[in-house]
Structure 1
Amino acid sequence: METVSRPTAPMTTPRTALLAGASGLIGNYLIFKLLKSDEYDRVISLSRRPLHLKHPKLEERVVDFDHLRPEDVAGAEVVFCCLGTTIRQAGSQEAFRKVDFTYPIEIARLALAAGARHYLLISSVGADASSRIFYSRVKGEVEQAIARIGFPSYTVLRPSILLGKRKQFRPGEIFGKVADWLLTPVSLLIPPLRRYRGIQAGKVADAMITLSREPVAGMQVLESEQLQRF
């Protein structure tokens, strides 16, 4: 596990989780796991539209991500950010950057001011603020920007090709599944390629919950092959 942190910090188990991006692939798995977890007696969901999900632990907050308010994130102790899109889906690089960069940073800024202590971010394999690839560069930039906000505990997860059933089909998924099928046997012979193997979205959600139980002081980054072990 790559860490940029001080030794593990003893912290009490948080009781209120805030999830941004419950309608996405990882977020959809995560919200059900959070609602089933005995460690959280309250789950706040931030979304543009109602989830149409009923549960005694769930509090839905339908928000305008372009104009987030302090009350939108109030009460959260742990923040799970699963926001993400594609340039094709967003329609432009500018719109993509808003979802994958601006919104996660604003949520982090407001949540820290409201008392949240741990921020978990879904990034991507290959995230690098100096990359020439726009997607990877934005992912790296948002990782760095949130680190500067100063959460006591900050966890970055960099999954590779996500496997699972989406509500909305993405054309690139077929290519991704074929690439994973071809890459899996090769990665067994060439260890550095293991980070690019596909990973089940449910496994990433499991990793987020496990990591939220064991926060470390400072920042920690987990690559996709590390998440496979969860």
Structure 2
Amino acid sequence: MKALIIGATGATGKDLVHQLLNDKDFEEVDIFVRKPIDVQNDKLKTHIVDFEKPEEWKNLVKGDVAFSCLGTTLKTAGSKEAQRKVDYDYQYEFAKAAKENNVDDYILVSAYGADPKSRIFYSKMKGELEEAVKQLHFTKITIFNPGMLERKDSDRTGEVLGSRIIKFANKIGLLESQKPLPTDILAKAMINSSKIKSNGYSNIKLGNIFCFAEKSND
């Protein structure tokens, strides 16, 4: 299979790339990034792109399965408008390009609590992206809604502190549904879902992740 990835430089994306390159079922792994990554492998093909100009790279989004795990924080982005560009606009353009190029299988990492009707900016944005991607009617679409992710060597103070608090709560039997999820486990689940050849709708629960697969009615 040929995999396509957006978000390859993030924590989940790095684990995903590493695992795909070591998976015998994948012959080629194409990543779409703003700058090169420090990985050398015969199976890896890197596309340096300007996400503001999808017309320049959309014809390259061709393969068997597309993985979307791009995302940023409000602090890093600097504003809600800038965060929406990364977390919604860029991801939607990638999904649209995949659909136009007849990619059948689309896998999206969203977020716990995603809801287009939410009053919370982040949850509303993620929910709107989910709905927009669903409307593209891929043959198979899988959406992951993880809660807090456990990233290796994270430098996000709030994230590290939050993870420690939840882990402590887990030890005394609290917040079990919000148990921090290691990004390598999420990446493994994404790859496993790409190998499930099923039709129709299915709901798979893995820890605090829920994935939804929906078949297009086209």
- TM-score w.r.t. length of structure 2: 0.88
Judged with a 3 Å threshold, the aligned counterparts in structure 2 of structure 1 residues 218 and 105 are, in CA distance, closer, same or farther, namely farther
Alpha-carbon contact 2:148-2:179 (below 8 Å) kept:
yes
Partner of 2:199: 217
Query: How many angstroms does 1:171 deviate by?
Result: 2.5
Residue identity opposite 1:71 in structure 2: N
For 1:222 and 1:102, the matched residues in 2 are separated by: 27
Residue identity opposite 1:40 in structure 2: F
209-218 vs 42-51, which deviates more? 209-218
- Identify which of 37, 61, 64 aligns with 2:50: 64
Query: How many angstroms does 1:219 deviate by?
Result: 5.8
Residue identity opposite 1:217 in structure 2: N
Q: CA RMSD in A?
A: 1.9
Alpha-carbon contact 1:154-1:220 (below 8 Å) kept:
no
Please show how residues 71-90 of structure 1 align to structure 2 within 5 Å.
71-73=59-61, 75-90=62-77
User: What is the aligned length?
Assistant: 208
What secondary structure, in the 3-state scheme, does the structure 2 residue paired with 1:52 have?
coil
Alpha-carbon contact 1:46-1:60 (below 8 Å) kept:
yes
Judged with a 3 Å threshold, the aligned counterparts in structure 2 of structure 1 residues 38 and 165 are, in CA distance, closer, same or farther, namely same
Query: How many angstroms does 1:29 deviate by?
Result: 0.4
Query: How many angstroms does 1:131 deviate by?
Result: 1.0
Partner of 1:119: 106
Partner of 2:122: 135
Partner of 2:4: 18
Pick 1 or 2: higher relative contact order, CA cutoff 8 A, min separation 6: 1
Residue identity opposite 1:202 in structure 2: D
Alpha-carbon contact 1:156-1:221 (below 8 Å) kept:
no
Higher helix share: 1
Identity, % of aligned pairs? Answer: 35
Query: How many angstroms does 1:180 deviate by?
Result: 1.8
Partner of 1:7: none
Judged with a 3 Å threshold, the aligned counterparts in structure 2 of structure 1 residues 18 and 149 are, in CA distance, closer, same or farther, namely same
Partner of 1:201: 183
Judged with a 3 Å threshold, the aligned counterparts in structure 2 of structure 1 residues 36 and 65 are, in CA distance, closer, same or farther, namely same
What secondary structure, in the 3-state scheme, does the structure 1 residue paired with 2:207 have?
helix
Residue identity opposite 2:94 in structure 1: I
Judged with a 3 Å threshold, the aligned counterparts in structure 2 of structure 1 residues 227 and 132 are, in CA distance, closer, same or farther, namely closer
For 1:64 and 1:81, the matched residues in 2 are separated by: 16
- TM-score w.r.t. length of structure 1: 0.84
169-178 vs 97-106, which deviates more? 169-178
Which ranges in structure 2 are unaligned for 5 or more consecutive residues? 211-218
Q: Does 1:147 align with 2:168?
A: no
Which ranges in structure 1 are unaligned for 5 or more consecutive residues? 1-14
For 1:89 and 1:123, the matched residues in 2 are separated by: 18
Judged with a 3 Å threshold, the aligned counterparts in structure 2 of structure 1 residues 66 and 180 are, in CA distance, closer, same or farther, namely same
Partner of 2:215: none
